[in-house]
Amino acid sequence: MVKVSDKTLSPEYTSQLRLLLSRIIKEQIPDFIYDQQNTEVIKNLFLYYTGQVGGYDLKKGIWLMGGNGTGKTTLLQIFSEFGKKRYDGFRIYDCAKVANDYAMNGELDVYTYNQTGYSRKPVNMAFDELGRETIPSNHFGQKLNVMQHILHIRYNLWRTEGIQTYITTNCDADETHRLYDNVNDRFISDRIKEMYNRIVLDGESRRK
């Protein structure tokens, strides 16, 4: 997803995009509730994913964290579909399935360098429910902390090529450190602030 300057979008086109986003939200979640926990986040995510200056750094990815049912996955799904309608979307991968796929076939290329994918190059993508996957994953005796491995590589891709990563997780800072950092360093947790716009979704569960 290419970020552009806010000066390239006319008020009329921005208004059309807002209507598109509203339509997607109504289609996907007819009873969606706007409240003080999500209104500001949605506004800033809209600006972010349309390349306009707002509350989030356009060069960084997204790290959505919060308790169960606070709407993290829903927001990613909404903006993934929003991007697809504009021919500029991103795919969402469930972390548990990513780890299970590694156990079955030992391949992680699609989530990193993507040399075997359609575009033959790394792409922006999202990982849902970080921290829910099996750690380590075992591919015929080759044990690997799969998401740690992926996040390491995608950090380097972000630094060298600007490739963005979008994350949802229930993990707080301590849990992230316990799951993804090595004993003698904090490589993953120390780079969250550098690489991501860190967004906390508070409130009670929205699940019925």
Range of the domain at 83: 57-201
Tell me how far apart the alpha carbons of residues 14 and 46 are, in angstroms, rounded to a whole number.
Answer: 10
Residue 95 located in a structural domain = yes
Bin 154: left if φ > 0, else alpha if -120 < ψ < 50, else beta: alpha
Q: With respect to residue 6, please indicate whether it lies within any of the assigned structural domains.
A: no
Domain presence at residue 126: yes
Is 186 among the domain residues? yes
Q: 32 lies in a domain?
A: no
d(CA 21, CA 153): 32
Taking a C-beta distance cutoff of 8 angstroms, is the pair 208, 79 a contact?
no
Residue 31 lies in a domain: no
pTM, two decimals, is 0.93
CATH number at residue 113: 3.40.50.300
pLDDT at residue 70, rounded to an integer? 87
Q: Domain tally for the chain?
A: 1
In a domain, 163, yes or no: yes
**pLDDT mean over 86-109:** 95
> What's the confidence (pLDDT) of residue 6?
46
Radius of gyration of the chain (CA): 17
Whether 25 is in a domain gets the answer no
Q: What percent of the chain has pLDDT over 70?
A: 94
Q: What's the distance, CA 80 to chain centroid? A: 10
Task: Report the alpha-carbon distance of residue 181 to residue 171 in Å, rounded.
Answer: 13
What pLDDT score was predicted for residue 3?
Answer: 55
pLDDT of residue 27: 94
Q: Are 98 and 146 in contact (CB under 8 A)?
A: yes
